[in-house]
Each structure stands twice: as C-alpha cells, then as structure tokens.
C-alpha cells in the first residue's frame, strides 16, 4: 500500500460474476452465504446454465462466442448498470487478468474483486515479471529476455543467447501462458524452426510475438504458492499446491501439500512468493508459480493475478473460504489471520481432479448433452460443478464438467478417498476423462508421489484406458439405455430461460434484466439440478 493511500471500508451489496460454469457457481455460493445478491451474465449457449439459474438476476450479453459475450467489457459494464451491481468478481479466465477491465470498473465506481491494474500489468508480461521479482530477491530461471528486455528480434540473436545459457533451453511467449508459444529446444539445430514456430503461435494466441529464453529445468515439479494481500500492508501465503500432473502444460490433477516439499522449503518458497507480491503492491488473491528442480532448487515461473482453478485444495487443508477472503479484502477489511495463525491451522491432505468432457485417449473435446449424471458423495468429498443432468456441454468454452476434490487426514487417506469418489462418478451421453483419472490415482509412481511435469507423457501407455471386458459391456448397456429412454431431465431444455433473465423477454430488449422478486427456477426446483 502506498503511503498516501488509507484503506476505507466499503460494503458490497450486489456482485456481478463476469464468468460462467463452475467458478461462477462457486463465487455465487459464498455471496449468498453472506447475504450478497448475485448477478449472472450469459451467452446464447448458456441460457439454462446453472450459474444463470442460481443467480438472483441474469443478463443476456450476446452470442456464444466469448469474444462477442464474456470478453465484451462494454456489455459487462452495461449489465452492472442495468442491475445496480456495485462489484464485479471476474472468476478465472476471460477478463480476470485484463487491466483495462479493472480500470473501466474503477472509473464507474464499481469494486473490482481482485488486484490493482498495475500489478496485473507488471505480472502479465513474463519478461517484466522476471525482472520485478528478481529485484525483490525471488530466484528466477537463468535466461535472457532479449535486447532491452524486449524479446529477440531474430533467430541469430536468440541462438547467441541460447549458447550462453546452455542447452536445453525453453522458448517462451512473453505475453502468454498455458503452454502457448512455448518450445523445448535440445540442440542448436532445433532452435531456428522452434523460434519461428513459437513466435507464430504467440502472435496468434496473444497478439504479441515477443519470445524470451530460459534454461530448461529437466523433469521439474510445478509448485505454486497461494498468496493473499490486503490494503493494510499485510501479505501472507497459504502454503503450496503441487500441480505437476499436466498434459501439454495444462494442469489435470493438483494436491496440497506437495509430497516433496518440506516445512523448511515451504517457508522459503512462501517467503519468496510474499516478496514477489509485495514488489507489485499486490491486493487480494494471487498465485506465485515456481519450478522445483530435482536438486531442491526452485525458480520463479509466473504470477497469476486471480483466483486459481485449483484453489479448493488450499481451502480444504486450511479450513477457509478464499472467495470470502476476496470479498473481505475488496471491502477494505484486513486479512483475518496472520502467517503464524495460518501455519498453525494447516491440516491433512487434499487432492483435486479436473473432470473434462473429452476423449480420455486423444483428449479431444466431447460436447453434447449429459444424459445421465451421478456425482460422488460422502465424507470430505466436494464436487464444484457447472453442469447438471440434461445440460448441454457447449463447444464454445473450456469443456470442464467439474472439479472433484477430496480431503483426508494424510495423503494415503486422501488418495484412497479420491479413488472411491472417481469410481462413484458416472457421466453418460458424452465422453469424459474419468477413465484416465481412475488409472492415474492407481499408478504406482503417483501413489509414491514420484512424478514431475513429464509424468503423463512418459506413462501414456499405462494411463490410456481401453474398453474391454466388463467395462465395455457396461458402456454398451449404458448407450442402449440412453438411446431407448433419454433422460426426462432433458425437458428442462424446453422450459425456456430462467425467470427474471433477459432471455425470456423480461429484459429491456438489449438483454438487460429487470429486477425480479420471483425466486430463481434453480432454487424453486423447477428445472436443472433439483429435478
């Protein structure tokens, strides 16, 4: 916090969630527990989505393509004005790390539940982030950001830098993430084609083809630290999450704590993460990501200036609601716990599996209607979902069905509970990656905690499901039943849009919703999850 700024308390009364799917539902649940009204926004593809049915108000913002709906800052702000929302929660993805959106909200007197725009700007550029955290004392992977820190203008310049760093190296997009614009280069001969390919991919994905170089850390683990900061100068960390089970740089399974992080290493990594957050005057929830080498050395990777997909595992081992913390900080309240108090309350182990509508062999999206859904239940099992039986998984967005999260007294208990929960989970009508998860949590190396970011690629043969015997018989029977007697819950689709939403004509013609005193259809049990 700057010396000239004094935080003031500003209560939040109505939150517009500028997102969809499970994260929109997750945020709304905490808001409702606190007596805060919620506003959903939705595209044509999401008229009957759970977040729309759950919200107190809903506003239609456009056609299915995200660029015409969920990424339209003007439409989100119009929805705020139409519904009287005094705060916006961005969730993750879409506009969650867009500093222009934050500034637009602030200009209109709308509280943005997240960090300040300058922190997003600094951490949004990988090269600027490396320089910033390095000055703060956080270790960074040896590398080169290019002349003037602006990336490399040519293959020749990149090759000269790579020779100094030493092969193998990674080419990385300065503006990106999620593995886009990233290339592993083992030899000098590979660098030219990899450089051109990385620049093309980065330019297409982010509108910025700037590429920098890092030394490749062989067989690293991906460890991230959850940080939280308030406007009173307090910054804490909530331990680590191990996100090393990845497919093409996309996280698939996460757990906390990491099987390989000691108390001493946790303290050092936590201190580095807090220093990184302080270096940009951070506010709210953020995640500092590191690569952990086999030698125990760790290096700053990037900072995500938002709530992470995998935040539930941290919530379970600390017994906290991180969205509630976000709301507190956005209202101007101080953090409720000190670092010492947080360290004292950490307990047990949590594991999360991301359940996707995708082919478990080729990992291609599998959109369509969920004809049958049975979700796991029981002690210490949590399923954060944005779907219901009869719902459509659209082709336009990330195909996540839910995040299945479990807690146990220790890692063995948590993994055993996850095995049981995955075996209970049934989805029909579409393909899912549940068979992959069931194999993964039984794999000897996973059980021992001996894995790294290359685990899935190396163990592809043993992690690829095959339909034989009883499994094939069950799949064929399920298909026959679905074909002969489609789920009655599909009738929800014919019921139209939820009461009070712009989708059913109750809006103003522009898609803006009128306030309504009717309870939502979701709460009334008329359609969707409670039918």
Active-site residue numbers?
A: 306
Asked if residue 322 lies in contact with residue 315, where contact means CB atoms within 8 angstroms, the answer is yes
- CA torsion 265-270-273-277 (nearest 10°) is -170
Q: Where are the beta strands (DSSP E) in 119-182?
A: 143-144, 169-173
Exposure pattern of 181-205 as b/e (b: 16+ CB <10 Å)?
bbbebeeeebbeebbeebbebbbeb
- Residues 202, 207, 213: CA angle, nearest 5 degrees: 35
CA dist 335 and 318 (Å) reads: 15
Q: Which helix (H) or strand (E) holds 229?
A: strand 221-229
DSSP class of residue 504 equals G
Asked if residue 71 lies in contact with residue 94, where contact means CB atoms within 8 angstroms, the answer is yes
DSSP class of residue 248 equals T
Which residues contact residue 58 at a Cβ distance below 8 angstroms, ignoring those fewer than 6 apart?
39, 40, 41, 42, 52, 497, 498, 500, 501, 502, 503, 513
Asked if residue 231 lies in contact with residue 5, where contact means CB atoms within 8 angstroms, the answer is yes
CA dist 94 and 72 (Å) reads: 9
Which residues contact residue 413 at a Cβ distance below 8 angstroms, ignoring those fewer than 6 apart?
348, 349
Q: Where are the beta strands (DSSP E) in 211-340?
A: 211-215, 221-229, 235-247, 250-256, 284-292, 298-304
- Residues 386, 391, 396: CA angle, nearest 5 degrees: 70
**Lookup: tokens for 514:** 């009128």
CA dist 123 and 174 (Å) reads: 10
């Amino acid at each position: 916090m700057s010396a000239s700024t004094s935080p003031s308390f500003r209560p939040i009364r109505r939150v517009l969630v500028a997102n969809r799917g499970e994260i929109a539902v997750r945020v709304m649940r905490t808001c409702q527990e606190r007596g805060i009204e919620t506003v959903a926004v939705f595209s044509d593809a999401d008229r009957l989505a759970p977040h729309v049915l759950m919200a107190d108000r809903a506003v239609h913002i456009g056609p299915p393509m995200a660029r015409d709906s969920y990424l339209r800052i003007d439409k989100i702000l119009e929805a705020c004005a139409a519904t009287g929302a005094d705060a916006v929660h961005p969730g993750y993805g879409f506009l969650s790390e867009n500093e222009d959106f934050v500034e637009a909200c602030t200009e209109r007197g709308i509280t943005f539940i997240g960090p300040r725009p300058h922190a997003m700007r600094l951490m949004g550029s990988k090269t600027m982030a490396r320089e910033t955290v390095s000055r703060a004392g956080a270790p960074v992977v040896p590398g080169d950001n290019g002349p003037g820190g602006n990336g490399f203008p040519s293959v020749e310049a990149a090759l000269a830098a790579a020779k100094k760093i030493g092969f193998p190296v990674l080419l990385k997009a300065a503006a990106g993430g999620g593995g886009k614009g990233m290339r592993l280069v083992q030899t000098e001969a590979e660098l030219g084609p990899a450089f051109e390919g990385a620049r093309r991919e980065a330019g297409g994905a982010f509108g910025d083809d700037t590429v920098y170089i890092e030394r490749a850390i062989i067989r690293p683990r991906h460890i991230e630290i959850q940080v939280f900061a308030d406007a009173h100068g307090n910054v804490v960390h909530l331990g680590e999450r191990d996100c090393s089970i990845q497919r093409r740089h996309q996280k698939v399974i996460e757990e906390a704590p990491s099987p390989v992080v000691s108390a001493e290493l946790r303290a050092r990594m936590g201190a580095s993460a807090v220093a990184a957050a302080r270096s940009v005057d951070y506010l709210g929830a953020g995640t500092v990501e590191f690569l952990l080498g086999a030698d125990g050395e760790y290096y700053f990777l990037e900072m995500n200036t938002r709530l992470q997909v995998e935040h539930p595992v941290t919530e379970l081992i600390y017994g906290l609601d991180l969205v509630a913390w976000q709301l507190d900080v956005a209202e101007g309240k101080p953090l409720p716990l000190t670092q010492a108090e947080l360290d004292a309350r950490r307990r047990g182990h949590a594991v999360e599996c991301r359940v996707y509508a995708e082919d478990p062999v080729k990992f291609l999206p599998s959109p369509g209607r969920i004809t049958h859904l049975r979700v796991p239940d029981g002690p210490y099992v949590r399923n954060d979902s944005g779907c219901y039986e009869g719902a459509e998984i659209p082709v336009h967005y990330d195909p996540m069905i839910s995040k299945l999260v479990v807690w146990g007294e220790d890692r063995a208990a948590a993994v055993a509970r996850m095995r049981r929960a995955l075996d209970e989970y049934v989805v029909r009508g579409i393909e899912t990656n549940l068979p992959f998860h069931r194999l993964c949590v039984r794999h000897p190396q996973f059980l021992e905690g001996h894995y790294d970011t290359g685990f899935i690629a190396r163990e592809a043969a043993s992690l690829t499901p095959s339909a034989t015997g009883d499994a094939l018989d069950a799949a064929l029977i399920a298909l026959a039943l679905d074909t002969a007697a489609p789920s009655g819950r599909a009738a929800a689709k014919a019921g139209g849009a939820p009461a009070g939403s712009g989708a059913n004509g109750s809006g103003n013609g522009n898609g803006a919703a009128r306030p309504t005193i009717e309870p939502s259809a979701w709460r009334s049990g008329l359609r969707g999850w409670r039918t």
